Chains A and B, each alone.
Chain A
Amino acid sequence: MPPREGIYGLLAEFNTPTDLVFATEQARQAGYRRMECYTPYPVEEAAEALHFHSTRVPLVCLLGGLMGVTTAFLMETWMSVWAYPLNIAGRPLFSWPAFIIPAYEWTILFAGLSAAFGMIALNGLPQLYHPVFNAPNFRNGATTDKFFLCLEATDPKFSLTETRGFLEQFPAVSVVEVDH
C-alpha cells in the first residue's frame, strides 16, 4: 500500500479534561463525526461526548469462555472414556464431577485470553505508526498530562480553515495540522 499523503486532521491540545470534553461535545453538535480524543488516562465523559458506548469486548470474552468450557469438557470426556479408559478405584469412566474443575479453569483461561487479545485486536493494535504521532506536541503530552481532540480530514464537514477557526474558539493550547 502506498503511503497516504496529505493532511490527516487538526489536533487541538487542551490542559484539562473539562476543556476537552466541552470542545468534543461542541464539535459533535456542530456536526463533526470523524474525530477522536487522546487522553493520558480513561476519560469516560469524552467517550460519552463521542457517543461511543458499547464495545464488543464482552461478547468476545463470552464466546471465549464458552469455547473454553466446551473444549475442556469434551477433551476430558474423550480422553477418559474412549482414548485412554482407566479404572480408578471402580469409579465410572465418565466421572463428570471431576471433569468440572479443569473445565472451570479453561473457561477462565479462554475467556481471559479472549478479553485481553480481543481488546487488543478490536483496538487495531499493535499499530506502531499512526499519523497523530507526527504532531510535534503529541508525544510530549498525550501519555502524560495533556488532552487532545483530533478532527479528522475524512469528515465531510472538515475544512482546513473553518475547522481551525472552530477549534480556536476553545481554550486550546494549540491547534496543529497532522500529516499522514
Chain B
Amino acid sequence: MATKGPIQPIVDPMIDPRTGEYAVIAPGHNFKSVTQKIGGIVLTANTPLAWFFGLIVAAGIAQGVIVGITWLVLKGIGIWGVTIPGAWGFAIINFVWWIGIGHAGTLISAILLLFKQTWRNSINRFAEAMTIFAVVCAGMFPLIHVGRPWVSYWLFPYPNTMNVWPQFRSPLCWDVFAVSTYATISIVFWYIGMIPDFGTLRDRATLPLAKYVYGMLSLGWRGSTRHWIRYETASLLLAGLSTPLVLSVHTVISFDFAVAALAGWHTTIFPPYFVAGAIYSGFAMVLTLAIPIRKFYHLEDLVTLRHLDNMAKVMLGTGLIVAYGYGMEVFMAWFSASHWEFFMMWNRMFGPMGWAYWMLILTNIASPLTTLWSRKLRVNVGYLFVLSFIVNIGMWFERFVIVVTSLYRDYLPSSWGTYKATRWDYMIFIGTWGLFTFLFLLFARFLPMIPMSEIRMMLPQTKVKRGGADSETVVEETA
C-alpha cells in the first residue's frame, strides 16, 4: 500500500488515491472473505445477545399495533381523533409517511441499477427489505381506516353475491392497485435477488435445518452460466419495471389529495413533490438502519463512508426538490390570487397549528439543507445518524401539515374545527415502529443483508483478462 514517494502525507487506506473519494469496498477482500463476512452473520451459531434484546424490545413496542387495532375493531374509528372537518388524521399521515420511506429501497435497487451505480450493491438488499417492511406498516393503515376493517377485501375487484364492483374513477381505488402492485413487485424483486445467495448459504450451512431451508429457498440454484444470463436479464427487466412503478406509486398517493377540490391539496405540483419527498425520507431511513448495522456487524468494509457520503448527496438533491415544492406552494398561494389558497397558506403558517409548519421547515429544510453541503459532515457518521432522524421527523410533519392544516379550516368558517390525535392514534403509530424494527431484526438474522453475488462482482479479481493469461497453453485439436 505504502508507495515510496518524496512527501508522503498520512493516507487513509480507504481513500482511493486516484479520485480522492472513499473506496466503495475496502481493499484486500476476495470472494471467500466477503462470503464469510456476510454469510457468517446468518450462519453463526452464536446469535449476539443484543439481537435478542432488540427483538424483545421491538416486539414489546409492536404490541401497540395489536392492542390498538383490537380496540379499534371492537369500538370503531371513533377512538381516533378524526372528526369533521378533520376527517383524515394519523392513519393517512402514517400511511403516506411509511410508504414514502419504502421508496428509497426501490430507488436503490432499481433506478441506481439502471444508472449502473455499482456502489448501491452493498446497501441494496437491506434497503429493499426496508421497503417491504415499510409497505407492511403502510398497507395496514388504509385497511384499518375504512371503518369496517373486516370487509376491507371489498376494495378488490372480486366476483361477489352482492354484484357490487369497485369504483374505478376514485383515487382511493387507484391506491389499492398501486400499493398492492408495489408490495408484490418489491417482494418478488427482493426474493429473486436472494436466490443465488440462498445457494451460497445452502452450501455453507452446517445445520441440517439451515441446509434444508436455504436449499428449498434457493430453488436448486447452481450458478449455471445460462441461468445467470437469464437471471441478469430478469433483474434488469424488473429494475426497468420498478422504476416507473415507484414513481407512479407516490404519484397515485398524491392524487388522493390533488384530485380533491380543497385548497392546499388541489395542486399539480403534488406528484413530483411527493416522489422527491418519499426518496428523501427513504434515504434518511436507510441511513438510520445502515449506520448501526455496519457498526454492530462490523461491516465498515462493505458499507463504507463512500456509501454514506453518496446517500447524503441524494438526500441533499431530493431535499432541494422538496424545498422547491414548499416554496412553490407559498408562491402559488399568492400568485393564484385565490382567496382560499391565500388563507390556507396564512393559516398553515400563522394559524393555531403554525408550529407544525415551522417545525417542518426547521427539520426538513433548515437543518439538513444547510449542513449537507459540507463533505466533512457527510462522512461524519454520528451527525448523519442524528440527521436521519431529524429528516424523518420532518417528513412526518410534512404529511401532518398537508393533511391536517388543509382540512380543519376549510371554506366555511362555521364548520371550522380542530384536530387532536388520541392516545390510540399514538399507540398504533408507535407500534408500527416496533413492528418495523421487529421485522428488520428477523431479516438481519436470517437472510443475507448484503447481496454476496453482487459484491463479488465488484472485486478486482472479477475481471476476465483478455488475450491469454494462459497463452503458453497450446491446445491441440483432437481429430
Within 8 A of A (CB), among B166-204: 166-170, 173-174, 177-178, 181, 184-185, 188-189, 191-192, 196, 199-200, 202-204
Interchain CA distance A48-B31 in the complex, whole Å? 23
Residues of B within 8 A of A58 (CB): 233, 237
Whether the pair A129, B220 counts as a contact (CB closer than 8 A) is: yes
- Specify the chain A residue showing the minimal Cβ separation from B453: A41
Whether the Cβ atoms of B237 and A132 lie closer than 8 Å is no
> Which residues of the partner chain A approach B470 to less than 8 Å between Cβ atoms?
18-19, 22, 170-171
Q: Does residue B207 face the partner (Cβ distance < 8 Å to A)? A: no
Cβ-defined contact, B219 with A125, below 8 A: yes
* Cross-interface CB contact of B173 among A19, A102, A112, A144, cutoff 8 Å: A102
Q: Do A42 and B231 touch (CB < 8 A)?
A: yes
Q: Residue B245 at the A interface, CB < 8 A? A: yes
Q: Report the nearest B residue to A45, measured CB to CB.
A: B464
Q: Using C-beta atoms within 8 Å of the partner chain, give the interface range for chain A.
A: 35 or more
Residues of A within 8 A of B227 (CB): 123, 125
How far, in whole Å, are A61 and B451 apart by their CA atoms in the complex? Answer: 24
Interface residues of B, dominant DSSP: helix
Contact status A116-B192, CB under 8 Å: yes
How far apart sit A169 and B478, CA to CA, in the bound complex (Å)?
13
* CA gap between A26 and B473 in the complex, in Å: 10
Q: Is the CB of B473 within 8 A of A170?
A: yes
CA distance A152 to B308 in the complex (A): 47
Closest to B215 in A: A128
Q: Are A116 and B238 in contact (CB under 8 A)?
A: yes
- Judge whether B422 is part of the interface by a CB distance below 8 angstroms: no
Partner of B203, one of A127, A144, A166: A144
Question: Which one of B2-10, B12-20, B90-98, B454-462 is at the interface?
Answer: B454-462
Of B169, B178, B202, B474, which one neighbours A98 at CB under 8 angstroms?
A: B169
Q: Please tell me if the beta carbons of B456 and A169 are within 8 angstroms of each other in the complex.
A: no
The answer to whether B168 touches A98, judged by C-beta atoms less than 8 angstroms apart, is yes
**Residue B35 lies at the interface, judged by CB distance under 8 Å to chain A:** yes
Q: Mark B115-151, 1 if CB is under 8 A from A, else 0.
A: 0000000000000000000000000000000000000
Contacts of A26 in B (CB 8 A): 475
- The 6 A-B pairs with the shortest beta carbon distances in the complex, nearest first, are A145-B31, A119-B234, A126-B219, A42-B228, A79-B165, A37-B225
Q: Offer 24 A-B interface pairs, CB within 8 angstroms, sorted by A.
A: A30-B475, A40-B31, A40-B453, A44-B229, A47-B229, A52-B225, A52-B226, A52-B229, A76-B168, A83-B163, A88-B169, A101-B248, A105-B174, A108-B185, A109-B184, A112-B242, A115-B241, A116-B238, A119-B231, A120-B219, A126-B219, A128-B220, A142-B203, A144-B35
